[in-house]
A and B are shown apart, each in its own frame.
Chain A
Amino acid sequence: MSRHRVKAVGYDDDEYYDDDGYDSPDPEEQELLQRTTAEVLQKLGAGLPSVTVTKDEVQETLYYYYYDVEKSVNYLKGKKEKELKKQQASAAAQKLKSQSFAFAHQRLDYVLTGQPGSEFPTPSPPSAHFSAADFFRDCPWLHVPSHRKADILVEPLYPRLGLLGGAPEGGGKPSKLAMLAAARKKKEAQSATSPPETASTKQPGSEGVLSPDPRAAPLSLSERLAKSKATKSSELSSGLAGLRRPSKPSPSASTSHANKPCSSEPRDAVPEPSKSVPAQVPTMEQRSETSKSPELQPRVSSLRTEPSEFARVIGGTSAGQTLTQPSQLQPSDLDVLKIYGLDRFAEQFFDFAGPSPDDVVLNAQNTAKGLKSKSAASKSGDKKAQDDMANGMNDLSVQEKVTVKSKNLNVLDEYNKSKRKKSANFVVIGHVDAGKSTLMGRLLADQGAIDQRTLDKYRKEAEKIGKGSFALAWVLDQGSEERARGVTIDIATNKFETDNTAFTIVDSPGHRDFVPNMIAGASQADFAVLVIDSSVGKFESGLKGQTKEHALLVRSMGVQKIIVAVNKMDAVQWDKGRFEEIEQQISAFLTTAGFQEKNISFIPCSGVLGDNITRRSEDAKASWFAGRTLIEELETSEPCTHALDKPLRMTIGDVFRGGVQNPISISGRLDAGSLQIGDQVLTMPSGETALIRSIEVDSEPSDWAVAGQNVVLNLANIDPVHLRSGDVVCRSSSPIPTITTFTAKVLAFEHLMPMMVDVHRGRLHVPGRIAKLVASLDKASGAPIKKRPKIVSPGTVARIGVEMDQAVPLEAPTRIVLRSGGTTVAAGLLE
């Protein structure tokens, strides 16, 4: 009876089975029956709690188990025990078998108490009056009262099936369910093949035998009923079979009736389950009939039609099945799944039971997996779905590790071999509105780094918002805010090439609020272009403002060479006197700031017109200037040397999404060391490792990069939360330490006292405070002049101790800038 047995039945081997065999039992079988009956009775009597059963009962049971004595004994024992219990519990209910509602309740009992032996729902009291139509008469469709739903839900299907298939695995007759399935299969195939008879089937079971009148089965059933009063499951099953059978080759009027609504369904799976309801009702009716006369048959068939109407009603809507059918499935969906295993019947059957929660889940899974929902209930499908689900979860939870194969290049060799142009980074600095961005835009446009079409577009758009003169600046001011306000906010990098040098422009903002961004830009620069507004009043205000601050900053960042572009000369009619005045003032200031005379050069120019940028001014008024143009001056720059063989250091300038293929990208300039694709790098202070998926050097893909180059690293295996601009990329073999306090030798720009400061290093800036003034130092020798000064006045060099709130990646020697209240108060070297 166990489910596995049912599962193991090979339906294909089954042959069409007919109940006709009951009508004419052959003598051999009779004999066997007699013998085994005696055996069973003996065994039952011998059992410790001796069981008394009628002979009829025994025979009935034996019949079901196909003369398997063991099984019959077990079954009878279980059944008797059960009955005993039942009688104690509700004797009345048991005896008055006509009460219709008891039917469902008892079934519930069976399911709940179901011992292996008693799994048969001895379909006890079903009454003559029970019919599905009656049962649902007063229920509006889809509004079945909950208590009734419960009753329906409980109705167990599989135990019945189990009973039907009660034959032992190896031998005995095949289950009727199996035969049903086979029959249906046959019908489907529309082929009239006669399967070979197996040894186990006792029935001849050919088409010919089956053809006899369909009412024979019910008749025989009722006959048997008369004999056996106790076991009723039999006729349930045989009734089902009887019903089923006619539907195949020679459908009788009654059954075809019942079938109609169902067979009209597009899915061929539909008829199967929906029929079970009508099928079973007539059986009950039948059973209640004491008379077995054939003339009763018409009445029976008419009775059958009644539920079929109901079925039709249900069948009309697809939801109909959901109510009737799942009711039998739901008690134990899982078990049902197991029972049916792989067989197609179950598949289709289950397809039907869509609304069960498990199915909902499975369907969801399957649709997600792109599988057909049909395979939902099949065990393998189920398992597979679960596996997929599990894998999916794994995929979700554990981030997929990307592995990139390293080419194991000797980067320094590669670098030396490569015939690159010499490259130079320069930062453009100056007071706000000095024309830095416009000058650089002009430079880029004249060098052909920007095509004319883009430039025209910018010009048009700029004019549209009334800022026509800003068109060139828009080449670098890409931000919407920047364009709307006409102010550079953040640094912008761009590149262009001359015949022998590849330049990278770092355009920095002039506004005092964005000095931190300018510091970030200056930290990437080899030399600087200081842009000065020559117009009256602007130059003077600039000198007090960011002209001075920027110049001091780039100097303290280690920039040696500075080109001063005296801009907007066209506004002062190329006044030579003005130019010389500016030259004098600025060079005086720059030399005090620490620039060497030979590293300072002055060029009068006009960014808007392009004079003296890449071409000489054609203005007659400017003819007095015979020096180099800006581009010529830029080309005189000597390449800087970078610490290629030092441990890797790179300050992250920006963290962004590089695209679909590169979800995490960082940009910046390599401060020291080298790297290549496939390298494992460490980011500080987060301490997370990342893998370099690919490298872009100056927007060109590359396998490696060395210090001094502007790179974009596409990373893998790291979460973007661990990356912030200002963090440092290094190698885990030589990580950069993170510190909270440091001492530094600084040049004071403003008064220094124990105070709050912001500590800047490139993109990195953190709040901190000057904890103590260690000593003021002699500028030249560095010897302490005064220990623990109260205050350090501007222009003096001092050694100070700084504390920060958070640990930051800093290591000596590095250049830092201290700012407070929007002004740069000091800059110097970490010690």
Chain B
Amino acid sequence: MRLIKNKIEQNGSGMVTLCPEEPEDMWHAYNLVRPGDVLRASAIRRVTTTQDTGSTSSARVHLTLEIRVKNLDFDPQSSQLHVSGQIMNETAHTKIGQFHTLDLELNRNFTLEKVVGANGEGVGWDSIAVEMLKDAVDEGGKRRAEAVAVVMQEGLAHICFIGQFQTILKQKVEMSVPRKRQGGGDHDKGMIKFYRVTLDTLLRQMEFNTSITSGSNNESVRPVLLASPGFVAAGFQKYIQAEATSTPGLKRLLPSVVVVHSASGYLNSLSEVLQSPAVKNLLSDTKYARETKLMDDFLDQLRKETNKATYGPREVESAVDQGAVGRGGGILIMSNRLFRSQDITERKRWVSLVDRVRHVEGGEVRILSSDHESGKRLDGLGGIAALLTFPIVEEDLDSEDEA
């Protein structure tokens, strides 16, 4: 995402103009835009006019609309963000107060304005929002590190794209492969068919051009991680190799294929994939690898029952109150799902917690993407967890409200 214009005032209100450049930027926009904000973007609106005679005609007009956001709808699969709200500016075709759903488009600027309301109806650009904006705006231009992972087992394959902030399950291949039976060759046949379908799907999702001519332009191929328990992934790699003899275009894919072990063919074993040494070499220091590492550390700590790790909103808050999330190793881990909350007081609660840990306690704050595997694990723990500097006594919080 490119930052076109930045006019954030001291008090936190202000506006920024951004230009999304790649699909993942939509995800950033999804995190930045919150209900109550004012969003200005180009739109296509169908305008129906009624003549005096009663006949109606409708036309699609290009407008620049400004809406007060009411609702967000994000489709991670196609990376599309639909923002609906009420129109703020009057044009020849629209009235103030009419509803409109803006579809943010790639390479089209949009302006986002957040205001701090006098009576607290807006939070403006708080520290989290500014941080997210920084994340969103790609300064180094090395954001593009991306990998394709195929997590598979017999008869099941998940093809997912691992981005900086998101893991998108692109497609699931499910097929019934006959089991081995006495004297039956169905199993091998079934596996070949399964491999074929998976490869076709993978190439389609990668938009990989298998024609020989496309090899000349030397475009880089994203790393492809094949992960499975047992020999399925290895078998799949062998299948790709065999296919490459008949389809020379596939040869370009071969060097970037890495086979790794995973415990199962389900997506939740992706963390194991991302932690494997082979993948770490391949994708050094990417955000998701760090996040996964952090979560593993946390769970380790939890397992050891040292009481130096805690999770859950109230537990973490009480730990922060006790000063356990401070200088010297205190890490507050939060899922960005919490900041997406519709409830302003809820968001304020988390933002103030983050600010407190960061500025008052001196601890570290890590915000995990809920669209990553590690973030999902964190969500399972209530979306918030903390590594503590010293063990704290487990309080018996008999709270029933946080289910």
Contacts and interface: CB of A to CB of B under 8 A. Distances in A.
A232 interface: no
Majority-rule SS of A interface residues: mixed
Contacts of A251: none
A767 B179 CA distance: 21
Interface in B352-403: 376-377, 380-382, 394, 398, 403
B199 interface: no
A479 interface: yes
A755 B376 CA distance: 9
Contacts of B14: none
Contacts of A490: 179-180
A793 B398 CA distance: 20
A819 interface: yes
A480 B180 CA distance: 9
A589 to B, nearest CB: 22
Contact of B267 (A721, A755, A767): A767
A458 interface: no
B188 A480 contact: yes
Contact of B179 (A725, A751, A770): A725
A766 B196 CA distance: 24
A513 B235 contact: no
A657 B264 contact: no
Interface string B179-209: 1111110111000000000000000000000
B161 interface: no
A549 to B, nearest CB: 13
B305 to A, nearest CB: 7
B230 A513 contact: yes
Interface in A748-770: 751, 753-758, 765, 767, 769-770
Nearest to B264: A758
A753 B184 contact: no
Interface in B8-25: none
A532 interface: no
Interface in A722-777: 723-725, 751, 753-758, 765, 767, 769-772
Interface string A485-519: 10001111010000000000000000101101000
Contacts of A821: 263, 269, 271-272
Contacts, number: 107
A720 interface: yes
Contacts of B264: 516, 758, 765, 767, 819, 822
B231 A489 contact: yes
A790 B176 contact: no
B314 to A, nearest CB: 11
B229 A758 contact: no
B132 interface: no
Contacts of B305: 791, 793
Contacts of B235: 481
A65 to B, nearest CB: 59
Interface stretch (A68-76, A311-319, A648-656): A648-656
A790 B394 contact: yes
A657 B382 CA distance: 47
B142 interface: no
A753 B231 contact: no
Contacts of A248: none
B169 to A, nearest CB: 11
A787 interface: yes
Q: Which of B271, B302, B376 has the most CB of A within 10 A?
A: B302
A791 B302 contact: yes
Interface string B25-42: 000000000000000000
A541 interface: no
A461 interface: no
Contacts of A653: 179
B381 A753 contact: yes
B303 interface: yes
B299 interface: yes
Given A479-B188, A482-B180, A821-B263, A751 B269 contact: no
Contacts of A725: 176, 179
Contacts of A787: 398
A788 interface: yes
Contact of A513 (B229, B268, B271): B229
Contacts of A720: 176
A772 B178 contact: no
Interface of A: 478-482, 485, 489-492, 494, 511, 513-514, 516, 653-657, 720-721, 723-725, 751, 753-758, 765, 767, 769-772, 787-788, 790-791, 793, 819-823
13 contacts: A478-B181, A491-B179, A654-B181, A656-B184, A657-B186, A724-B176, A751-B302, A754-B382, A756-B376, A767-B264, A767-B267, A769-B268, A790-B315
Given A514-B230, A758-B266, A767-B264, 8 more contacts: A478-B183, A479-B180, A511-B230, A656-B178, A754-B381, A765-B264, A790-B315, A821-B269
